[in-house]
Amino acid sequence: MSLRAPDAAPRRLPAVASTAHDHHRILAGPALADGAEPHHAHIGRLGPLPRERPSDLIAQIEQSGLLGRGGAGFPVGRKWRAMAERRGHARPVVLANGAEGEPASAKDRTLMATRPHLVIDGAVLAAAAIGAHEIVFYVGREHDAAVRAMGQAMAERANAGHVPMRLVTAPIGYVAGEATAAVHYVNDLDARPTSTPPRMSERGVDGRPTLVQNVESLAHVALIARFGPAWYRSVGRNGAAGTALVTIGGPVARPGVYEIELGTRLRDVLPAAGGTTGPVSALALGGYFGSWVRSADAWDLRMDPLALRERSLSFGCGMVELLAGDECGVRATAGIMTFMARSSAGQCGPCVLGLGAIGDAVARIASDVAEPTDLERLEAWTGRLAGRGACRHPDGAAQLMSSALDVFGADFASHATRGRCDVPGVAEDAA
């Protein structure tokens, strides 16, 4: 390609073209089943960590167009530049977020368990770019293989001359991965979100400015720094650039974590997981803070944060969860919403009471024991939940619930008013 910027000439292209998946980037290399790639193998395959000037590195990340992969999809380069150009003398901290409390997502734990050195490379580069004096790897403690792999990888690099690194295992819980909750836990062993301000970028770990970055975002940085933004952008479909990890679940032949070219239409993503094994009525996209989409509307969707945003959907954490044609969307939503209500950190009234009421009402509706006003109240509570918490947990729950009322509207009405499920083929005793 002639698009390559002169100041971003790749040192050496990674040997992935010989595999069947030549768009694989962060999952290129040995089979995932082989576990963590050791440091010597990582260096042998990709070459040493480049030493860029911080401003050059940030410029490369900006040129790559990389968007954060934790859920919000914010441009990584812009975030780093804001940190690097901030005023004040306190040395910042990099917090690599691998909590992954989202039950239907497995991409971060898979990445850390198999390519821990990509994550560490990215964090070391982030620290250099913003002048950080410490890196904290925040890894969900239930992700055993990821915790072991990250700890082992840190030990392998103990004498590499990096800034000090420490591993902090995140407590189990959906909200523990929220940025302020992560910082709160690292500081005080309390994984509940805190009020903003202060922003983490101003006062986070140990009171220092803190860059909180998802581990997948850091892994991409490790490759962009080596091979350049033009290389990163040389894959991607339908106008999008780069790759992303997704977790595909539901009625597919091989549920699991896959690396896809961004912009790939959903119909072309599913073959990676062996294709569907039966009819699909709807998909939950982006995570439990994402949206339901009717399957007929979903197949042509481009898996790209920007394209999805235009449709008021979100790429989120890359979750693609399929609902089989003989499964009931109301019951599936009840499962998610009761989980979301239970996952509240219990600090903010609207999340405890409003989301709690939503969870209870949707559970009653799904079990065909709805009170007469349940559906009406469910709609009202859902409409006024967003924006009313210290963190975005209620916002995400409201979005998922609102999309469910839209996509499964007729099924909600059947359950709530007639006390029965009209989805063909649903087992009578499935509730």
Partner 1 sequence: MSEHRLRVDWIRCEGYGLCGDYAPELVELDEWRYPILGPDPVSVSRLHDAQRIVDCCPVRALRLERQDAGRARGPRALVGRLMSTRHG
Among 19, 55, 195, 417, binds partner 1 (CB under 8 A): 195
Least distance (Å) from partner 1 to the CB of residue 353? Answer: 5
Least distance (Å) from partner 1 to the CB of residue 304? Answer: 18
Nearest to 224 by CA among 406, 56, 41: 56
Least distance (Å) from partner 1 to the CB of residue 202? Answer: 8
Task: Dump the DSSP string for 157-220.
Answer: TTTS-PSPEEEEEEPSSGGGGSHHHHHHHHHHS--S---SSSPTTTS-GGGS-EEEEEHHHHHH
Among 179, 246, 363, 375, binds partner 1 (CB under 8 A): 179
| DSSP bridge partners of 98 | 139
Least distance (Å) from partner 1 to the CB of residue 137? Answer: 13
Q: Give the integer Cα–Cα distance in Å for 213 and 75.
A: 11
- Does residue 309 bind partner 1 (CB under 8 A)? no
- Does residue 291 bind partner 1 (CB under 8 A)? no
User: 271: how many CB neighbours lie within 10 A of its CB?
Assistant: 12
| DSSP bridge partners of 283 | 293, 322
- Does residue 213 bind partner 1 (CB under 8 A)? yes
Least distance (Å) from partner 1 to the CB of residue 153? Answer: 21
Largest alpha-carbon pair distance within the chain?
Answer: 68
- Does residue 205 bind partner 1 (CB under 8 A)? no
Among 252, 283, 389, 408, binds partner 1 (CB under 8 A): 389
- Does residue 212 bind partner 1 (CB under 8 A)? yes
- Does residue 68 bind partner 1 (CB under 8 A)? yes
- Does residue 329 bind partner 1 (CB under 8 A)? no
Token reading at 49: 């960590």
Least distance (Å) from partner 1 to the CB of residue 429? Answer: 35
- Does residue 331 bind partner 1 (CB under 8 A)? no
* Closer residue to partner 1, CB minimum distance, 178 or 259: 178
Residue 48 phi, psi dihedral angles, 5° rounding: -70, 165
* Closer residue to partner 1, CB minimum distance, 180 or 276: 180
CB 193 within 8 A of CB 176: no
* Closer residue to partner 1, CB minimum distance, 180 or 414: 180
Among 23, 61, 65, 71, binds partner 1 (CB under 8 A): 71
Among 180, 291, 295, 399, binds partner 1 (CB under 8 A): 180
Residue 284 phi, psi dihedral angles, 5° rounding: -100, 120
- Does residue 128 bind partner 1 (CB under 8 A)? no
Token reading at 291: 């949206």
Q: Is 12 exposed, middle or buried (0-12, 13-18, 19+ CB in 10 A)?
A: exposed
Token reading at 242: 């780069």
- Does residue 70 bind partner 1 (CB under 8 A)? yes
The amino acid at residue 29 is: G
Q: Give the integer Cα–Cα distance in Å for 326 and 324.
A: 5
Nearest to 366 by CA among 419, 404, 290, 327: 419
- Does residue 40 bind partner 1 (CB under 8 A)? no
- Does residue 305 bind partner 1 (CB under 8 A)? no
| DSSP bridge partners of 352 | none
- Does residue 254 bind partner 1 (CB under 8 A)? no
* Closer residue to partner 1, CB minimum distance, 36 or 95: 95
Q: Find the radius of gyration of the CA atoms of the chain.
A: 22
Q: Give the integer Cα–Cα distance in Å for 127 and 91.
A: 10
CA distances from 179 to 80, 101, 192, 237, 393 (A): 16, 12, 10, 31, 12
- Does residue 384 bind partner 1 (CB under 8 A)? yes
* Closer residue to partner 1, CB minimum distance, 328 or 400: 400
Least distance (Å) from partner 1 to the CB of residue 40? Answer: 30
- Does residue 107 bind partner 1 (CB under 8 A)? no
* Closer residue to partner 1, CB minimum distance, 65 or 71: 71
By CB under 8 A, what part of segment 75-104 binds partner 1? 78-79, 82, 95, 97, 99
Least distance (Å) from partner 1 to the CB of residue 116? Answer: 19
What is the CA angle 269-270-271, rounded to 5? 95
* Closer residue to partner 1, CB minimum distance, 23 or 392: 392
**Beta strand residue intervals within 332-408, DSSP E:** none
Give residues in contact with partner 1 (CB under 8 A).
Answer: 68, 70-72, 74, 78-79, 82, 95, 97, 99, 177-180, 194-196, 199-201, 211-214, 217, 289, 317, 347-351, 353-354, 384, 388-393, 396
